[in-house]
């Protein structure tokens, strides 16, 4: 049984909240690391925060996919309609086309 859009959104929000909490806890721990030079500490924080920004974007994309799965049966029907109305008639006529009619002219006469 699949999850509803609301359930997916709720799970995403939980993951996002945990990521932010983890980011804050690690930043607080790094602030207390007196033995690491300031320049190195700033670089570590910058990389850590950048990583979590990328992670957040990843989860946002995952959420977007799961919230917009669509209807596979409607897609199947649309593909079938296209094949019958466009693909089949064009396919039947393509063997009668000559190469001159199919030439694409990129410059204007």
Weakest-pLDDT range from 6-15, 34-43, 68-77, 98-107: 98-107
Positive or negative, the Cα torsion across 33, 37, 42, 46?
negative
Compute the average pLDDT of residues 45-60: 87
Q: Is residue 107 part of a domain?
A: no
| Tens-place pLDDT, residues 54-109 | 988 888 888 888 777 777 778 888 888 988 998 888 888 777 776 666 666 676 65
Q: Is residue 109 part of a domain?
A: no
pTM of the predicted protein model: 0.50
Residue 52: how many CB atoms within 10 A of its CB?
16
Q: Is residue 10 part of a domain?
A: yes
Q: Which domain holds residue 71?
A: 5-102
Confidence at residue 1, expressed as pLDDT on a 0 to 100 scale: 40
Residue 6 pLDDT more than 50?
yes
Q: Is residue 108 part of a domain?
A: no
Q: Is residue 26 part of a domain?
A: yes
Dig out the tokens for 67 from the structure.
Answer: 């919230």
């Amino acid at each position: 049984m699949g999850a509803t859009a609301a359930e997916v959104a709720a799970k995403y929000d939980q993951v996002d909240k945990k990521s932010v909490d983890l980011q804050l806890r690690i930043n607080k721990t790094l602030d207390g690391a007196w033995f690491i030079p300031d320049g190195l500490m700033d670089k570590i924080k910058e990389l850590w925060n950048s990583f979590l920004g990328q992670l957040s974007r990843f989860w946002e994309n995952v959420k977007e996919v799961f919230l917009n799965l669509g209807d596979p049966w409607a897609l199947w029907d649309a593909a079938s309609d296209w094949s019958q109305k466009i693909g089949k008639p064009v396919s039947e006529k393509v063997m009668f086309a000559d190469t001159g009619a199919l030439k694409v002219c990129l410059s204007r006469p």
